[in-house]
């Protein structure tokens, strides 16, 4: 059951019915779901949540849906203690929230399962989105599961893994010659013309709520407590803002103690409008034209940038931007230290974390959670050149030992000595 009562404008606080709408008619502010937290508090307990399914739907009472979920098991992904990476970075209590483990290998399954469920409740026949790649994968998959039509819009220069990762589910896949911001503008216009559920346009108030589940899960997995510090990748800024909201809600519902979590946000330097505004100390985001290998984060005009800056200020977190070289190094560091192959957004987070530690902005004893939001097989182009090619050998010991010796300069002799 849902405890929602209305949509409310974040700016002027006017209320609206729970319809597929997203912007205030009076002030153009974004609309957000309103909950009855008092009633929710009566109905919810840690035990009730713990008895729920191993997916985001264990938090159904905190989400804005009534109907049967469109469910491919998004969420309840592992929270791993990162001993080796922590040691490398100088952090004693580093955790990785591994959202690569979602059904379409990114955190977007969390938002889409909520949006798809709501779209079906509203009676839509078509699920749509403007995407930097991962969202399109997830919308196409959830539409397939629900038997809905899917039409997904992406910039035409995306990585192959992101394109195949949508096409496989049979959507109408539209590759637009333009940046994500242009794709998004096109979709906003189309949403006024076609009766489709654009998950991140007219369904945005509901869709965005799905990201709160990352905050809930991390707190539950830490034994019902908020971490001291989160580091989160930012594109539109929605994920970052909603993790904070999720933690705040748990405290409001007395499921955890008060929250003292510093929220840090990471971007690629080639598209860092939120971090640039934070560094300049201004609430005004200046849109940029993205130029980075972190394509999933390449949003030059971030819809929730303003609210992300508010959370950064309120929580005492930091903004950090990293170069494309650091993105690749971050992906490699994570893979080699912890066995997790992240996409470019993960490289942004790990290198961003490294920078914050080096700048003395994280304490060695803080409980830190780094959010790894998407999987690396989708962005192979980013790392391929940085990796050693395989040893290429004939199926003989001699060929193998020769190749190994050439690669390492030592292997052959030692192996030969031991064998004789
Ligand atoms: C892997 C990954 N991480 C993080 C983000 C950032 O999401 P948001 O737009 O909510 O800031 C995205 C956005 O597409 C993404 O694909
Ligand atoms: Zn308003």
The 10s digit of each residue's pLDDT in 335-375 is 999 999 999 999 999 999 999 999 999 999 999 999 999 99
Q: Are residues 380 and 395 in the same domain?
A: no
> Which ligand has the shortest distance to the CA of 27?
2
Distance 134 CA to ligand 1 centre (A): 8
Q: Are residues 294 and 416 in the same domain?
A: no
Give counts: helices (H), strands (E), the chain.
Answer: 16, 13
Does residue 268 sit within a domain? Answer: yes
The protein residue whose alpha carbon is closest to atom 4 in ligand 1 is 233
Residue spans of the chain under pLDDT 50: 411-420
Mean residue pLDDT of the chain comes to 96
Do residues 217 and 337 lie in contact, with contact meaning Cβ atoms separated by under 8 Å? no
Q: What is the CATH number of the domain that holds 326?
A: 3.40.50.1100
Distance 119 CA to ligand 1 centre (A): 21
Pocket test for ligand 1, best of 96, 104, 107, 133 (most atoms within 8 A of CB): 107
CA angle 152, 158, 160 (to 5 degrees): 100
Pocket test for ligand 1, best of 138, 330, 374 (most atoms within 8 A of CB): 374
Does residue 119 sit within a domain? Answer: no
Q: Are residues 378 and 233 in the same domain?
A: yes
Q: Are residues 244 and 268 in the same domain?
A: yes
How many domains does the chain fold into?
A: 2
Running DSSP on this structure, what letter comes out for residue 318? Answer: -
Ligand 1 atom closest to the CA of 238, numbered from 1: 10
Residues in CB range of 392: below 8 A, 6 or more apart = 403
Q: Are residues 407 and 307 in the same domain?
A: no
pLDDT of residue 410: 55
Does residue 151 sit within a domain? Answer: no
Distance 272 CA to ligand 1 centre (A): 13
Directed axis angle between helix 305-315 and helix 273-280, to 10°? 50
Q: Are residues 250 and 372 in the same domain?
A: yes
pLDDT of residue 373: 98
Ligand 1 atom closest to the CA of 99, numbered from 1: 1
Does residue 353 sit within a domain? Answer: yes
Does residue 95 sit within a domain? Answer: yes
Distance 15 CA to ligand 2 centre (A): 9
Does residue 188 sit within a domain? Answer: no
Q: Which residue has the tokens 């560091």?
A: 333
Q: Are residues 237 and 325 in the same domain?
A: yes
Is-above-0.85 flag for pTM? yes
Do residues 57 and 71 lie in contact, with contact meaning Cβ atoms separated by under 8 Å? yes
Residues in the chain: 420
Q: Are residues 234 and 371 in the same domain?
A: yes
Q: Are residues 324 and 407 in the same domain?
A: no
Do residues 290 and 299 lie in contact, with contact meaning Cβ atoms separated by under 8 Å? yes
Phi, psi (5° rounding) for residue 111? -75, -35
Distance 290 CA to ligand 1 centre (A): 14
Distance 107 CA to ligand 1 centre (A): 8
For residue 373, give its domain range.
Answer: 79-105+211-384
Tokens (6 digits) for 27: 């002030």
pLDDT of residue 324: 98
Q: Are residues 348 and 411 in the same domain?
A: no
Pocket test for ligand 1, best of 98, 106, 267, 307 (most atoms within 8 A of CB): 106
Do residues 70 and 52 lie in contact, with contact meaning Cβ atoms separated by under 8 Å? no
Ligand 1 neighbours (beta carbon < 6 A): 106, 132, 134-135, 233-240, 296-297, 343, 345, 373-374
pLDDT of residue 415: 46
Distance 233 CA to ligand 1 centre (A): 7
DSSP 333-344: HHHHHHS--B-H
Does residue 125 sit within a domain? Answer: no
CA angle 376, 379, 382 (to 5 degrees): 105
Does residue 123 sit within a domain? Answer: no
Q: Are residues 247 and 374 in the same domain?
A: yes
Q: Are residues 216 and 332 in the same domain?
A: yes
Do residues 134 and 110 lie in contact, with contact meaning Cβ atoms separated by under 8 Å? no
């Amino acid at each position: 059951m849902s405890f929602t009562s209305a949509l409310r404008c974040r700016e002027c606080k006017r209320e609206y019915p729970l319809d597929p709408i997203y912007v205030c008619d009076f002030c153009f502010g974004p609309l957000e779901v309103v909950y009855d937290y008092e009633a929710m508090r009566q109905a919810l307990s840690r035990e009730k949540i713990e008895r729920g399914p191993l997916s985001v739907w264990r938090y159904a009472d905190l989400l804005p849906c009534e109907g049967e979920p469109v469910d491919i098991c998004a969420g309840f992904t592992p929270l791993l203690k990162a001993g080796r990476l922590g040691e490398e970075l100088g952090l004693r209590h580093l955790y990785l929230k591994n959202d690569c483990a979602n059904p379409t290998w990114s955190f977007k399954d969390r938002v889409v399962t909520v949006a798809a469920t709501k779209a079906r409740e509203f009676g839509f026949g078509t699920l749509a989105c403007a995407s930097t790649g991962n969202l399109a994968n997830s919308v196409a998959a959830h539409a397939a599961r629900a038997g809905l039509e899917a039409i997904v819009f992406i910039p035409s220069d995306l990585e192959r893994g992101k394109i195949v990762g949508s096409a496989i589910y049979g959507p109408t896949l539209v590759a637009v010659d333009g940046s994500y911001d242009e794709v998004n503008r096109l979709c906003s216009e189309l949403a006024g013309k076609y009766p489709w559920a654009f998950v991140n346009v007219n369904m945005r108030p509901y869709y965005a709520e799905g990201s709160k589940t990352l905050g809930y899960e991390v707190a539950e997995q830490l034994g019902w407590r908020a971490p001291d510090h989160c580091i989160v990748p930012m594109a539109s800024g929605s994920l970052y803002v909603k993790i904070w909201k999720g933690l705040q809600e748990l405290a409001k519902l007395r499921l955890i103690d008060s929250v003292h979590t510093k929220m840090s946000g990471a971007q690629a330097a080639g598209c860092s409008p939120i971090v640039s505004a934070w560094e300049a100390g201004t609430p005004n985001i200046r849109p940029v034209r993205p130029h980075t290998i972190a394509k999933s984060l390449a949003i030059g005009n971030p819809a929730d940038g303003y609210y992300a800056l508010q959370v950064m200020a309120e929580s005492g977190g930091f903004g950090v931007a990293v170069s494309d070289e650091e993105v690749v190094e971050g992906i490699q560091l994570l893979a080699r230290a912890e066995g997790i192959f992240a996409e470019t957004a993960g490289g942004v987070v790990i290198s961003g974390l490294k920078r914050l530690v080096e700048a003395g902005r994280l304490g060695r004893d803080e409980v830190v959670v780094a959010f790894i939001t998407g999987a690396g097989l989708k962005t192979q182009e980013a790392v391929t050149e940085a990796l050693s090619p395989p040893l290429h050998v004939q199926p003989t010991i001699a060929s193998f030992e020769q190749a190994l010796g050439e690669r390492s300069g030592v292997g052959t002799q030692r192996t030969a000595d031991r064998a004789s």
